[in-house]
Structure 1
Amino acid sequence: MIPCLAHVDCYDGLLKKMKNPSVSSYPENESAPILPRPMIDLFVGLLKVENPDPNDLRLNPGNATPDQVKGLPPTTFGICGLDALRDEGLLYAKMLTEAGVPTDIHVYKGVPHGFRRFGDKLSASKHWDETTDSGITWALTNPTATGEFKIHEH
């Protein structure tokens, strides 16, 4: 459920939010199955964006400020543990939570980005489907923000 939240050339803002960028999900999972770093670069290249602007929130929603995300709708996060995009998803979820946006955050440990394509061969797929279904239902109930950054691990 988590796309790239910052163009690779505009990633400095996210790096500054990390305690130790050298051990972040990008270097940790640069060779992860399904979405290794070269594949991310390929997809970003397909955007054909020359001189990307870090402040363009259509391209870099992960670079938004807390004031810019206030008032966003309830958001369910499905984040894979073995994913180069993991940390940017967690940082964005934390920012939304702290900005008063209702959030429902799920981390699927040990599976890569796009693992759902393997269907019933992976037990995590059932949990993913349940999270997707319940996330839609939850968002439609107009939930209240708790301000608590709580991660459900699967």
Structure 2
Amino acid sequence: MELTHALKNCSFVSDAKYSVTDHKVPVDGGEIVVRVVIPESDDPKQTFPVLTWLHGGGWALGNIDQDDWALRVWSTELQVVTVNVEFRSAPEHTFPIPWDDSYTALKWVASNAASISVSLDKGFLIGGMSAGGNLAATVAHLARDDPFFSDKPLTGSYLAIPVIVHADAYPEKFKDQLLSMEQNKDAPNLTRDSMRFYLDTVKAPPEDPKTSPLLYPSHAGLPPAYFQICGLDPLRDEGLLYERELRAAGTRTKLDVYPGVPHAFQVFSPTISAAAKYEADTLVGLKWLLAGAKY
């Protein structure tokens, strides 16, 4: 899904100064591209926090260009380096390749922080939208459990309308809380059947926690998380449930809900007032993460 439509009237971006560089990152069986946007500074030694971004599109659609403008807005408005990941996608590249590529990209960011003007101590965020939100949620779990990140942990997750659990893997104890896949099965933009098509195309095993991060045995020790959830979205209830589960496990969370609008409404209806609120909330939510979730 694309974030750029509602942001193209942001006049400050045309006047803002930043650098954009594509880097090739080796991955198992090939290489991927990550696009790095760095705000310009008069101080050549200036460092910034970083957001690694994973685009939406059902692990099959979309590319590094779809959110390019939005990430430039965030970089300039928030003074943050953004790293836009071109993970390999289905149908050519199925599970677990998109997940593994995303995790490799995060490790690349941590290993190359100094060369891209990043100080991880100032903020080390992972984020994504829709299927990208699924990747971000999984990557946060993987990084929590990996000794590689023990001295450089993630400091925040941005989970926008995320895929959190496969409909064939709903835990029995949560089934009465996961009603939106059926209630919103024919909603605009994303239906129950199209969600299943994407999952089938990427060949994601329903009960694997990479597919369904709700199923990780523990959610303790995850970084603060910012959620955006749409009321008319088949994914609504899994996002709301995941936010509750993270909060119950001790993770600080921030949640914005948009009643009566479907999945990725801000992309398909960028001129409505709710879309403007969504975009404004995004900046507030990212600021909350960058501030260490203290306000």
TM-score tier by shorter-chain length is 0.7 to 0.9
Preserved CA contact (<8 Å) 1:75 1:102:
yes
Deviations 1:92-146 (A, max 9, x none): 000111111110011100000010113542111111111111111101111259x
Please state if 1:76 is matched with 2:245: no
Rounded to whole Å, the distance in 1 between the matches of 2:166 and 2:237 is: 14
The within-5 A match list for 1:113-124 is 113-124=263-274
Aligned mate of 2:275, from 122, 125, 131: 125
Contact kept? 2:254, 2:285, Cα under 8 Å: yes
List runs of 5+ in structure 2 lacking aligned partners: 1-159
Residue 18 of structure 1: how far off its partner (Å): 4.1
Any idea what the Cα deviations from partners look like across 1:21-74, whole Å, max 9, x if unmatched? Answer: 5xx11111000000011110111111123xx262x2211102234xx2111111
- SS of equivalent residue, structure 1 residue 127: helix
Whichever structure has more helix as a proportion of its residues is 1
Partner of 1:30, secondary structure, is: coil
Asked if the contact 1:25/1:85 (under 8 Å) is kept, the reply is yes
2:184 to 15, 22, 29: 29
Aligned residues: 136
Distance 1:7 1:129 in 2: 28
Distance 2:288 2:262 in 1: 25
Runs (4+) of structure 1 moved beyond 4 Å? none
Superposition map of 1:36-47 within 5 A: 36-47=191-202
Structure number, greater radius of gyration: 2
Report the secondary structure of 1:143's partner residue: coil
TM-score when normalising by structure 2: 0.43
Whole-Å separation in 2 of the counterparts to 1:105 and 1:75 = 8
CA distance in 1, matches of 2:195, 2:275: 23
SS in structure 1 of the partner of residue 247 of structure 2: helix
Instruction: Show the counterpart of 1:89.
Output: 239
1:4 alignment counterpart: 163
Partner Cα separation in structure 1 for residue 174 and residue 226 of structure 2: 21
| Corresponding position of 1:105 | 255
Taking only aligned residues, the RMSD between alpha carbons, in angstroms, comes to 1.9
2:288–2:294 contact (8 Å) kept in structure 1: no
> Aligned partners of 2:192 and 2:262: how far apart in 1?
12
1:62 equivalent in structure 2: 214
Partner amino acid, structure 2, of 1:47: V
TM-score using structure 1 length: 0.80
Tell me what 2:96 maps to: none
Following the alignment from structure 2 to structure 1, what is the Cα–Cα distance between the partners of residues 290 and 176?
Answer: 35
Q: What is the CA-CA distance between 1:7 and the residue it aligns to? A: 2.2
Which residue in the other structure is 1:19 paired with? 176
Q: Distance in 1 between matches of 2:294 and 2:210?
A: 26
**Relative contact order higher in (CA < 8 Å, ≥ 6 apart):** 1
Going from structure 1 to structure 2, the CA distance change for 1:62 and 1:2 (only over 3 Å counts) comes to: farther
